[in-house]
Amino acid sequence: MLLMQQIVNGIMLGGVYVMVAVAFTLTIGMLNFLNFTIPALFMVAAMVFWATMSGGFGEGFDSLFGSVLPVGMQWVVGVLLALIAATLCSLLIERFTYRYMKTRYGDATEHAIPLVSSLGFLIIFEHIVIMIWGTDPMSLNSPFGAATWRVGGLLIGVPQLISLVLSIAIVAALHLLLKRTKTGRALRSIAENPDTALLLGVDVQRIVPVVYVVTGLLCAIAGILFAINYRTVGPYIGEQVATIAIAGMVLGGLGNIWGAIVGGLIVGLLEALATYWFGADIVKVPIWGLLLLVLVIKPTGLFGQSAIGKGKF
């Protein structure tokens, strides 16, 4: 039973990883670019959500919103502000990364430009948050408390369950967006080949920000869910939590959205089970070890096909 409980916990934790893994895989699949700022977006959203909920913006902000909003609705403002903040940050990244991706001198490390810029943004966002709120982990007053359901002896956290369902629903919606809509078709054509897409009349410069907006929204939702589920946030959760989603992305295969879901859940399960069997300290070894193995043996991930990002960035 204890093992079953761990499996349930793992799948719930996987829900957070799924969202971030989908954000990673979307950017790499569409734009062929490993966006290392994604962990920072996750962190910014969680911190903004925390700040709205627990007075991080100071007295004035609280009294302003306290007078307008009915009690208990503060979290709506928190969610909105977190979504807006992450999306704006993401658009800022777009301005300085994808546009400079074009190879100008035919040089191998030239492709590293967006990668380096995104690492730079990771540093910027992390230190801005540290400047404002310091490095200590903060605890969040959860709007939903520790609501749990008891199903046949298993303890299921309601926020966790909501987050898992929500993340799968969002990815399903994203899948429909990509397959059915005009924007989705344009995005897929860019994924195939940006130059051809341009020739076929796709306004590449206009359509690329869509990827960044979706990335920002996904990260924001993941960050909010993380904050609600674990009720502790800090400036380092990005690099400590969200980077693990990279493993989920690779497991599912780069650029494969449904693969990222499975990969994210596997990573969540692996983390919960490794904690259960071997203790919390060793968690990183099985996850990153598995990632290393997959990269070396079967770099296309568990489901094969695409070879996106191979040989270039």
Partner 1 sequence: MSGYLSAQLSILCLNIIIAYAIFLPAATGQLNLGAGGFAIIGGYVGGYLNSSFDGLGWAMSVSIPVAALITAIIAFALSFPILRTRGVYMVLATFAFAEVVAGIVLNLEVVGGAAGFPVDGHADLKILAPITIAVIVFCWFLLSTRFGLAMRSVHDDENVATLFGINVRWIRVAAFTLGGLLGGLYGALYGHQYNYIEVQNWNVLFNIYVLLYVLLGGTQTPFGPLVGALFFTVVPELLRALGESLNSELIADGRFALFGILIVLMMVFRPEGIVTRTLLERLSGRKTQEAVT
**Binding positions for partner 1, rule: CB under 8 A:** 28, 34, 36, 96, 100, 104-117, 119-128, 130-131, 239-240, 243, 246-247, 250, 254, 281-285, 287-289, 291-292, 295-296, 299, 309-313
Residue closer to partner 1 by CB (options 76, 116) is 116
* 162 vs 166: CA distance, rounded Å: 6
User: CB of 288: closest distance to partner 1 in angstroms?
Assistant: 4
User: CB of 232: closest distance to partner 1 in angstroms?
Assistant: 19
String of DSSP letters for 216-269: HHHHHHHHHHHHHHH-EE-TTHIIIIITHHHHHHHHH-TT-HHHHHHHHHHHHH
Please answer whether residues 12 and 268 qualify as being in contact, where contact means their C-beta atoms are separated by less than 8 angstroms. Answer: yes
Residue closer to partner 1 by CB (options 57, 96) is 96
Contacts of 104 (CB under 8 A, 6+ apart): 110
Phi-psi region of 62 (alpha: psi -120 to 50; beta: other; left: phi over 0): alpha
User: CB of 281: closest distance to partner 1 in angstroms?
Assistant: 5
At 69 the three-state DSSP class reads coil
User: CB of 216: closest distance to partner 1 in angstroms?
Assistant: 17
Residue closer to partner 1 by CB (options 27, 229) is 27
* 219 vs 43: CA distance, rounded Å: 8
The closest alpha carbon to 30, from 269, 274, 260, 277, belongs to: 260
User: CB of 292: closest distance to partner 1 in angstroms?
Assistant: 4
User: CB of 191: closest distance to partner 1 in angstroms?
Assistant: 15
Across the strands, what pairs with 148? 157
Residue closer to partner 1 by CB (options 38, 228) is 38
Residue closer to partner 1 by CB (options 145, 289) is 289
Residue closer to partner 1 by CB (options 71, 296) is 296
